[in-house]
Amino acid sequence: MKTDKVAPLPFRDPVREVRVEVERAGQRIDNFLILLLKGLPRSRVYQMLRRGEVRVNGRRIKQHYRLCAGDLLRIPPSFGLGRPQPQAPSASLLERIETCVIYEDAGLLVVNKPSGIAVHGGSGRRHGVIEALRASRPNQPHLELVHRLDRDTSGALVVAKKRSVLKQLHANLREGRVDKRYLALLRGSWRNGTKTVRTPLTKNVVRSGERVVRADPGGKPAETKFLSVDTCSDATLCEAIPTTGRTHQIRVHAVEIGHHVAGDPKYGNREFNRLMRHRGLHRMFLHASQIGFSSPATDGLIHVVAPLDEHLLGVLDNLGLRTLF
């Protein structure tokens, strides 16, 4: 006798009440919930906030609400079909990221992020640098990204270990008190001097969902200084210093001055990229080489240099170019 299959009942989390710790004070409610409700789609988190299903001290709140120490959160039931726990990052990723830590103190650490690894999971990537660090350091529950780098960009990435350190470093970023410097291989020969680009930028989303940034007089202010380090007939190694922190800023500003970043798959010059592949380049040549800021603990200067990897050093050697260090 044939029987109908019965669909499994959806898994239902119970209502929860969560008290906000001092370390989480100042964090946006949406970011807090995304971290707390691992495995729940972000769309569902924002739906819960829009509908008022999440309450703080008994009241509805907006997604940009910043938590206060002692706030009592009511977390509603969330549904999923036997929602599994997120798969842990691989042991190889944990080991790789740990070996990339180039500076560490009691309040923060700096990773020399490899190209091709995202800073966090999402957009088809299950795990990034921050998930790997949290998995390898279970005794440090408050690890948070201080800033971000594009997946294809390598170099210095700062991670806070404490909420108080994160808040201080975010304040430093807003006030322009963080010195970030990049090394970029640009199209064409350019000797000496400095080029400063002050072209406003705006973000667009194309039909495929891909994020694209464009120069736009009505966009947000953006400024990048480019300093020539060494040049050859085909390319120039530059130090790029962004004084603002817009998405894809260096890459788009390089286009504005006609010197596309080598290997850039989104904004680059196809012919130049092909030429650089023949010279051994198989990724985008943009590297966060230095970062400097005041220590939240001592007010002393922290200055970290992130060395270029062997691949990029080999490309420079093939081109006969010298680097800064």
240 pLDDT tier (thresholds 50, 70, 90)? very high
Token pair of 243, please? 């004084």
> Catalytic one among 150, 179, 264, 309?
150
Q: Residue 42 carries which side chain, given as an amino acid letter?
A: R
pLDDT in tens, 28-46: 898 888 878 876 777 888 8
DSSP 8-state code for residue 85: P
- Is 179 assigned a catalytic role? no
pLDDT at residue 142, as a whole number? 87
Q: CA neighbours within 13 Å on the CB side: how many for 188? A: 10
φ and ψ of 8, to 5 deg: -65, 145
* pTM (two decimals): 0.79
Q: At what angle do helices 42-50 and 29-36 cross, to 10 degrees?
A: 130
Domains and CATH numbers, the chain: 11-80 (3.10.290.10), 91-166 (3.30.2350.10), 172-319 (3.30.2350.10)
Task: Region of 122 please: left (phi>0), alpha (psi -120 to 50) or beta.
Answer: left
pLDDT in tens, 145-183: 999 999 999 999 999 999 899 989 999 999 999 999 999
Q: Residue 185 carries which side chain, given as an amino acid letter?
A: L
* CA 257 centroid distance within chain: 25
Please report, to the nearest 10 degrees, the dihedral formed by the alpha carbons of residues 287, 293, 296, 300 taken in order.
Answer: 130
Token pair of 197, please? 């680009």
Closest by CA to 319, choosing from 263, 248, 242, is 263
Closest by CA to 199, choosing from 155, 258, 149, is 258
